[in-house]
Amino acid sequence: MRGGDPHIRALMRTISASESNMDEPYRLLYGGKLVEDLSRHPDLCVEIVAGPNLGDCTTAAGRYQFLTTTWEAKAEAYHPSPPPWFDMWGEYSFQPEYQDAVVHSWLSDTSAWGVDIAEMLRQERLDEVLYMLSGTWTSLGYGIETNSMSGYLPQIYNAMLEEELNQTGATFPFYPGRS
């Protein structure tokens, strides 16, 4: 993704590392299968094979493992451009650029979360942010489905932030312990 706050972009990459850490995260369904058609959310119910929701099914898909209902609500609020035929069909594109744009806008919306996530990240309050977001992304270390990446998320975030800051040439206040 280009543009936007580098702290939010680093957070997005961190979420992705925990939720969809593979070569084609935008096409990923829960369980590891890939979908080809991203013209809309795939809305496929996949059986959960482990954890506290064993036997249920999930429609989680894409880089951020959006459930169908979450995607529909967040795309309605944050999708940058509904297709011209939207009024007739009512489905938002699930192409990679739109998955990123929706998540970036959602994480940047202070009214959605009741806090300024980017500012919290600039204040090095990553643990608080991950805790707050774990109700949405359960793999972030505080949720019901902590995974093998969860313990590494602070290091992943810091590495991603360094890359994002270097890529954008952005200048932000100096944080002790960070080069």
pLDDT tens per residue, range 40-68: 999 999 999 888 888 999 999 999 999 99
What pLDDT shows up at residue 168? 57
Q: Which run of H or E residues covers position 10?
A: helix 6-19
Q: Which residues of 94-118 are buried (b: 16+ CB within 10 A; e: fewer)?
A: bebebbbbbbbbbbbeeeebeeebb
What pLDDT shows up at residue 143? 65
What pLDDT shows up at residue 176? 31
**Mean residue pLDDT across the chain:** 88
For domain 6-168, the CATH class is mainly alpha
Q: Interior CA angle at 11 toward 8 and 14, to 5°?
A: 155
What is the chain's Cα-based Rg?
Answer: 16
Least confident range from 105-114, 144-153, 165-174: namely: 165-174
User: Helix, strand or coil for residue 34?
Assistant: strand
User: pTM (2 decimals)?
Assistant: 0.87
Mean pLDDT on 124-142: 93
Beta strands in 5-153 (DSSP E): 46-47, 57-58
Contact 156, 130 (CB under 8 A): no
Q: Where are the domains of the chain?
A: 6-168
